[in-house]
Amino acid sequence: MERSKVLSALSALAHEARLDLVRLLVPRGDEGLAAGEIARALGLSASRLSFHLAALEQAGLIRSRRVSRNVIYSADLAGIGGAISYLLADCCMDHPEVLACCGASARHALHRVAEGDLAPREGP
């Protein structure tokens, strides 16, 4: 992932409403959620939500598709993972003490890898 992409991802995530938005969309996977439903769920005005959605999409953290009158937004899990991976690997050089803080998540990931659920990214 390029540096500029990571920077825009970080600055997109550095906002309460947009962090909530990602949190809302991630568990729904590809199914996603219509903009109107997101607005209701988060209590945002339509124009404000549209602004935040555009910022996240521009940063490669979510995707959109039109379905009839609705625009469905879903999390771009690879984009989100890529940004986090950049922080861990390229920025922190997989420093053991940083990774230790992510220990539980790491165990999760490795368990899935061991079970063949995941096709893990190869190291740099």
Partner DNA sequence: TCAACGTTTCACGAGTAGTTGAAGGATGGA
Partner DNA sequence: TCCATCCTTCAACTACTCGTGAAACGTTGA
Q: What is the DSSP string of 52-94?
A: HHHHHHHTTSEEEEEETTEEEEEE-HHHHHHHHHIIIIIITTT
Establish if 110 lies at the interface with DNA (CB under 7 A).
no
String marking each residue 29-68 x if it binds a copy of itself according to CB under 8 A: ----------------------------------------
In Å, what is the CA distance from 30 to each residue of 17, 34, 75, 79?
A: 21, 12, 7, 13
Task: Rule CB under 7 A: choose which of 4, 27, 31, 47 binds DNA.
Answer: 47
User: Could you tell me what percentage of the chain is helix, strand and coil, using 3-state DSSP and rounding each to the nearest 5?
Assistant: 65, 10, 25
What, of DNA, a copy of itself, none, does residue 10 touch, CB below 5 to 8 Å by kind?
A: a copy of itself
Task: Rule CB under 7 A: choose which of 7, 41, 51, 98 binds DNA.
Answer: 51
Residues that bind a copy of itself (CB under 8 A): 3, 6-7, 10-11, 13-16, 19, 22-23, 26-27, 77-78, 80-82, 84-85, 87-110, 112-113, 117-124
